Structure 1
């Protein structure tokens, strides 16, 4: 039986990248080096949308949030997590129990409503 503190190893780099959003930047090299994780691939759809809407700038070794991106930082982080974990890359079957499905639907509704803005 797992606990909230024991997550699958392949989820750790996702959580690390999402946690870096609060600082306005994600160092691309750290997850590559520590976990053999490629953020530019894992979050490609979110990054592309954010670059197009001027919320992110992708530089050589860092993904940076713009001022507009910092305003949307929590939502961007949620979008990154949903893209990577719920599109089959994270294999988080345990998040599909009833309470988590409710939380997932709330988060997805928030993300979908943001796209209508």
Structure 2
């Protein structure tokens, strides 16, 4: 555990028994055990945190290397497209998609239904 052999551990226990006495020794051992358990818990949590941070850093490195291999530099295609557009016209705003108006959708649906009805009538007459 800490490089302590059985004889050293036995000597420590005898000295603790003499110093603390038989009544206080169990309480001291319990307190020492709880302290060691808490220390282990904290050190394990710290170690997990460090390992997670290292893994995240390595993942980001691999992601940047893959992006560099794929695109030839650190820019993504969207950044390249924006940069090219700004070079052509720095004042231009990017294209913004606008959702169609609900009235337009209703009108288009009605027109399609009317066209279908006319087609059905023509089929019946023929």
TM category (shorter chain) comes to under 0.3
TM-score (norm 2): 0.20
Higher relative contact order (CA 8 A, sep 6+): 1
- Largest Rg, 1 or 2: 2
Could you say which structure has the higher strand fraction? 1
Could you say which structure has the higher helix fraction? 2
